[in-house]
Amino acid sequence: MVWLTVICPAVTSVLMLISIILLLLSMTVYKKMTPITTVDVVALRHIDMSRNVPEISVDVNMSVMNPNGVAFKYTHSTVLLVYRGVVVGEALIEAGVISKAATKTANVILASNLADRLQGESELIMIHSDMLAGTLPFNIQIKFSGRLFSLLKIFQVSCRRGLYQLMLF
C-alpha cells in the first residue's frame, strides 16, 4: 500500500524531472550551431608583375570558433582565392578537432599563377583593365565541414563562408 501511495508518485516525479532537464539541455547547451569562421589577417606575400598576367601569393590567417557545447571534428577543408568568379588559388586545411567552446587558428598560403587559371581572352582583358585601374578584386572563400559529437547523436554540420573581399594595390 505504501508503494502505491508514496514511492510510485515519487519515482514518477523524479523521472519527469530528469526528462525535463534533459530536454532543456538538448535545446540550449547541446543545440547544434554552425562554427564561425573569420579571416583575421590577409597579407600580400609576393606579387610578380613582370609578365602580362601577374603571379601572386597571399597569406591568410583565419580562425574557426566552435560555439557548441561538444567537440567539432572537421574533415579536410579548403580556402579558395577567387577572381571574378574563377577559382585561381586553393589551399587545404588538414582535418582536426576543435574542442567545445574553443577557437582554432590556421595560417594558409594561397599561391596562384593567374595565367594558368584564366583561360579565356575576356578574362585576360579584364585582369589587364583591373591592373591598369590599380586594383585586383579577389574574394576568399572558406569551405568547412565536419561533425559534432554529443552523447546522444552525431550531427552533420557544414559551414561555407565566403566573399571576404580583398582588393590588392
**pLDDT digits over 63-99, tens only?**
989 888 788 888 888 888 888 888 888 999 999 999 9
In the chain, pLDDT over 90 holds for what percent of residues?
11
Name the residue ranges covered by the structural domains of the chain.
Answer: 1-30, 32-168
Q: So what's the pLDDT on residue 94?
A: 92
For the chain, helix, strand, coil in percent to 5 are 25, 50, 25
Q: So what's the pLDDT on residue 17?
A: 93
Residues 6+ apart with CB under 8 A from 111: 46, 55, 56, 57, 58, 89
> What residue type is 91 in one-letter code?
A
pLDDT of 32 over the 70 cut: yes
Residue showing cell 587559371: 117
pLDDT of 25 over the 80 cut: no
Comparison of pLDDT for 128 and 59, the residue scoring more: 59
pLDDT of 102 over the 90 cut: yes
CATH of 32-168, one of 2.60.40.10, 3.40.50.300, 2.30.42.10, 3.40.50.1010: 2.60.40.10
Q: Alpha helices of the chain — where are they, by DSSP H?
A: 2, 8-27, 114-117, 121-133
